[in-house]
Amino acid sequence: MTGPGTFENLLRDLAPQVLGMLVRRYGQFDAAEDAVQEALLAASVQWPREGVPESPRSWLVSVASRRLVDEFRSDNARRRRETATAAEPDGHEVPNRDDTLVLLFLCAHPALSPPSQLALTLRAVGGLSTAEIAAAFLVPEATMAQRISRAKQTIRRSGQGFDPPSPGAERAERLRVVRQVLYLIFNEGYTASGGPALQRAELTAEAIRLARMLSALVPGDHETAGLLALMLLTDARRPARTAPDGALVPLDRQDRSRWSKEQIAEGVELISTTLGRGPIGPYQVQAAIAALHDEAGSDAETDWPQILALYEVLERLSPGPVVTLNRAVAVARTHGPLAGLAVLGDLAGDARMAGNHRVEAVRAHLLERAGFTAEAHAAYLLAAKLTTSVPEQRYLAARAALTLPEH
């Protein structure tokens, strides 16, 4: 018997494929996206009761197409388009083609701002809800809903065809945005921005699937290969990141025998054959860092000086507060917690990290290692208050309890 989770995963897999097919056939990205959402809703109600149809993708395309035809019929300005779409019979054969990557390029439209490109792609391809995207961008849900709506309207007004951009500067820029989107989808899956679960395996799996497809589409692109390697090497640790009760297990305490040897081997081979073959980029450097973690037999055997050197390279290539935060950890593991706290001080007053629980979590950990338990206790409590992830809240609260000052 098929469970609700299976239906949810199937619909998530099919949604971008159906949307891509409808946009290719009819245009009108915004109307197509609305039609797909209605088809998904119908499927979520009907399939558990009546069973999954023999061709679920064709079923969704047919239902969404009828929704579009009804919409076009209500708009007299689209008479010619209505005639063309209405002539197509329900249940016509659906091409065995996945337009998801072309849909990714469309969402990376140059007329959109980078935040809108990311938000629209996460909604249309990643399957994230507006609330989840808003949490990832740290903005109110209503603001994100308006941003996504405006992005769809911009694409509609542009008249952009449903074809990949030609090789050149525009393709390179859109490829950069697509990589960033896939990275954000992966991160939301690997450490959920909120909710009862630490991880959302369906999102990490989808990000890896799309990264594989993208890598096959641009086989000579070293950064895309680096991104795929980074995802594989990071996701390899997922089975050991939570205890049986769902509690968070930090990296230094994980059972490394539970890490996926297959993913590690694939990721290491990929980054090993990529580094030094062309221009180096941030994803390649991060993949090299992940490989050093994964290849270490234990936390004590981790090559922290080499990791620190790579973070210094990464900070030159792609400076930002998150990189600085990670470098602070590497500095602490190499030169001691006080040195790490000094680097962490560089983030003081950085508005981009205001309210970010990870800054306080790292600060608390380094203060605890340095012996400042009272200060560590306060930092752990603040970090627990700032995060919306239940497993992280519990972990940080437990650490706070262990550093509770004696009276």
Q: What is the pLDDT of residues 334-348, one digit of tens each?
A: 999 999 999 999 898
The predicted pLDDT at position 1 comes to 39
The predicted pLDDT at position 5 comes to 55
E strands, 141-208, are: 194-195
Proportion of the chain above pLDDT 90, given as a percent: 48
Asked whether the CA dihedral 357, 363, 369, 371 is positive or negative, the reply is negative
**What's phi and psi for 108, nearest 5 deg?**
-90, 40
Average pLDDT over residues 191-198: 85
Is 3 a residue whose pLDDT tops 90?
A: no
Is 77 a residue whose pLDDT tops 80?
A: no
Distance CA 262, CA 25 (A): 39
Average pLDDT, whole number, for the chain? 87
Q: Count Cβ neighbours within 10 Å for each residue of 237-268 and write b for 16 or more, e otherwise.
A: bbebbbeeeeebbeeeebebeebbeebbebbb
Whole-number Cα distances in Å, 307 to 81, 310, 330: 57, 5, 7
Average pLDDT over residues 210-225: 90
The predicted pLDDT at position 164 comes to 67
Is 91 a residue whose pLDDT tops 50?
A: no
Distance CA 316, CA 326 (A): 14
Confidence grade of residue 375 (pLDDT, cut at 50, 70, 90): very high
The predicted pLDDT at position 237 comes to 98
Higher pLDDT, 158 or 229: 229
Average pLDDT over residues 275-292: 94
Task: Read off the pLDDT of residues 252-281 as tens digits, 9 standing for 90 and up.
Answer: 999 999 999 999 999 999 999 998 888 899
Task: Read off the pLDDT of residues 104-151 as tens digits, 9 standing for 90 and up.
Answer: 888 888 788 888 888 888 888 877 778 878 876 667 889 999 999 998
The predicted pLDDT at position 203 comes to 84
CB 4, CB 47: distance < 8 Å: no
Range scoring the smallest mean pLDDT among 25-34, 236-245, 312-321: 25-34
The predicted pLDDT at position 160 comes to 67
The predicted pLDDT at position 87 comes to 38
Is 6 a residue whose pLDDT tops 70?
A: no
Confidence grade of residue 75 (pLDDT, cut at 50, 70, 90): low
Q: Which residues 6+ apart lie within 8 Å of 229 measured at CB?
A: 267, 268, 270, 271, 274, 283, 284, 287, 290, 291
Is 97 a residue whose pLDDT tops 80?
A: no
The predicted pLDDT at position 219 comes to 87
Length of the chain: 407
CB 287, CB 236: distance < 8 Å: no
Q: Which residues 6+ apart lie within 8 Å of 3 measured at CB?
A: none
Is 329 a residue whose pLDDT tops 80?
A: yes
Range scoring the smallest mean pLDDT among 35-44, 110-119, 276-285, 361-370: 110-119
Average pLDDT over residues 348-357: 86
**What's phi and psi for 406, nearest 5 deg?**
-80, 140
What DSSP element (H or E) covers 389? strand 388-389
Average pLDDT over residues 173-192: 89
The predicted pLDDT at position 265 comes to 98
Average pLDDT over residues 74-89: 48
The predicted pLDDT at position 107 comes to 86
Proportion of the chain above pLDDT 70, given as a percent: 90
Is 72 a residue whose pLDDT tops 90?
A: no
The predicted pLDDT at position 259 comes to 98
CB 134, CB 124: distance < 8 Å: no
